[in-house]
């Protein structure tokens, strides 16, 4: 059975006090849920990672980073390395989010290097990808997703996928209120599994968790999560409110 995961990407939101409070409230509100194997993840901004890790200690909540640089160290002003994150207790990093690709020009080639740095440091990534609206309209969405995966991940060995969580996020559904239908999500997730099986093995494809992201909210989470190849969600806006995020976790 694949691990179920609900991850909250806080993006550029919450100062130190707000981050600690949100984790504190979340700890309290998920206490009543029987989560067992479900992973609950939050991704605060870099400056609030240390205090968030402390706040989340001895709870079910895992604190992860939203990005990192691929180099170990050097002249890269403003950047943070895998090793620096690991040293403060962060083991997982979101990579390739569409906002990073769009506003910060992150390329598949750079992402391939970032993934390598994750593996070298024995860390884990939530690797994001997904097509633009124009790709879907021109029916190129499968091709685009396949090339994003093959360019950034398909140089890896099958066993490396133990350290990879995939997050399919159609760009047209992020922060727009427009969600992919559960059928569209399932169709793409099944396709993703099929290309992983083709490149690696059925076992690798069956084991990797694939999250859906893009305007997931309490009202649509249950239906999306009910699809067989959807193993959870990467949540933006709705992760900022304890009640909404808890309801989404409950829906898994």
Is 120 catalytic? The answer is no
Checking phi first, is residue 163 left (phi over 0); if not, alpha (psi -120 to 50) or beta? alpha
Q: Where are the beta strands (DSSP E) in 21-163?
A: 39-43, 61-63, 92-95, 124-129
What is the DSSP-derived secondary structure letter of residue 126? E
Could you tell me the CA-to-CA distances from 92 to 4, 24, 86, 100 in Å, in that order?
A: 16, 20, 8, 17
- The DSSP bridge partners found for residue 42 are 8, 63
Residues 169-188 close enough to bind ligand PGA by CB under 6 A: 169, 174-175
Instruction: State which residue, 44 or 214, has the beta carbon closest to ligand PGA.
Output: 214
Q: Which phi and psi angles does 9 have, rounded to 5°?
A: -95, 110
Instruction: State which residue, 174 or 204, has the beta carbon closest to ligand PGA.
Output: 174
**Choices 20-28, 37-45, 221-229, 233-241 (CB under 6 A): range interacting with ligand PGA:** 233-241
Half-sphere exposure of 127 (CA within 13 A, CB side): 31
**Residue 234 found at the interface with ligand PGA (CB under 6 A):** yes
At closest approach, how far in Å is the CB of 57 from ligand PGA? 25
Q: Which phi and psi angles does 33 have, rounded to 5°?
A: -85, 145
How many residues make contact with ligand PGA (CB under 6 A)? 13
- Which of 96, 170, 232, 236 binds ligand PGA (CB under 6 A)? It is 236
Q: In what order do the strands lie in the sheet with 5-9?
A: 61-63, 39-43, 5-9, 232-235, 210-213, 164-168, 124-129, 92-95
In this structure, what token pair is assigned to residue 144? 């685009």
Query: What character string, x for contact with ligand PGA (CB under 6 A) and - otherwise, covers 23-52?
Result: ------------------------------
Is 169 catalytic? The answer is yes
The residue from 69, 97, 141, 189 that is catalytic is 97
Query: What character string, x for contact with ligand PGA (CB under 6 A) and - otherwise, covers 203-232?
Result: ----------xxxx----------------
- Which of 237, 244, 246, 250 binds ligand PGA (CB under 6 A)? It is 237
At closest approach, how far in Å is the CB of 185 from ligand PGA? 13
The distance in angstroms from the start CA to the end CA of the chain is 14
At closest approach, how far in Å is the CB of 224 from ligand PGA? 11
| Residues labelled as active-site residues | 97, 169
Binding site for ligand PGA (CB under 6 A): 9, 169, 174-175, 213-216, 234-238
């Amino acid at each position: 059975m694949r691990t179920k995961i609900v991850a909250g990407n806080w993006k550029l939101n919450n100062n130190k006090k707000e981050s600690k409070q949100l984790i504190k409230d979340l700890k309290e509100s998920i206490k009543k849920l029987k989560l067992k194997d479900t992973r609950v993840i939050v991704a605060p901004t870099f400056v609030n990672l240390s205090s968030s890790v402390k706040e989340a200690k001895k709870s079910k909540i895992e604190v992860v980073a939203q990005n990192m640089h691929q180099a170990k160290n050097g002249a890269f002003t403003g950047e943070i390395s895998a090793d620096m994150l690991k040293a403060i207790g962060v083991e997982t990093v979101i990579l390739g989010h569409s906002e990073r690709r769009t506003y910060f020009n992150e390329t598949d080639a750079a992402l391939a290097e970032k993934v390598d740095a994750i593996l070298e440091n024995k860390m884990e990534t939530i690797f994001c990808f997904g097509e633009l609206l124009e790709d879907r309209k021109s029916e190129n969405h499968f091709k685009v997703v396949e090339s994003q995966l093959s360019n950034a991940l398909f140089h890896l060995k099958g066993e490396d996928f133990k350290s990879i969580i995939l997050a399919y996020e159609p760009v047209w559904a992020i922060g727009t209120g427009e969600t992919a239908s559960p059928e569209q999500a399932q169709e793409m997730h099944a396709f993703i599994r099929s290309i992983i099986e083709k490149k690696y093995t059925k076992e690798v494809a069956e084991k990797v968790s694939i999250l859906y992201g893009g305007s997931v909210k309490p009202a649509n989470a249950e239906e999306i999560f009910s699809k067989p190849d959807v193993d959870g969600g990467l949540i933006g806006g709705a992760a900022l409110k304890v009640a909404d995020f808890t309801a989404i976790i409950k829906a898994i």
